Amino acid sequence: MKEINDLILPDDVGYTKDHEWARKEGEVVVVGISDYAQDQLGDVVFVELPQPGDTLAKGDEFGTVESVKAVAEVYLPVGGEVVAVNEGLEDAPELVNTEPYAGGWMVKIRPDDAGEMDQLMNREAYLDLLKG
């Protein structure tokens, strides 16, 4: 397990209390799980994701991440339509561990309400949550 100071926590994403992250990229929001979440799960062996075209609300479960230790549900930080899923995770689920904010992204959402991004924690608030 990583120490809190060793976690990679980019400034350009918003975080949820359930350890998902979201980053605005043009008209879409890219979503994944944080470095803390992947570290707690251990080696990821399978990722189940929704279908493009699915419409989900903020807080809805959009998939599961299975590791050697556990199966964890993942929840949407913003509601909207799934416009893309990371198909690369099918053959390389370990990208969630090695590149949680790059190659390990999970879904791209066209948000119903872009203002939901403003409700996410910034890096400092998320660090405070992790420190308890």
For 10-120, list the strands marked E by DSSP: 14-15, 20-25, 28-33, 44-48, 55-56, 61-67, 71-75, 80-85, 107-111
pLDDT value of position 10: 98
CB 52 within 8 A of CB 36: no
**What is the CA angle 86-37-49, rounded to 5?**
30
List of domains in the chain? 13-114+124-131 (2.40.50.100)
Q: For the segment 6-64, what is each residue's pLDDT rounded down to a tens digit?
A: 999 999 999 999 999 999 999 999 999 999 999 999 999 999 999 999 999 999 999 99
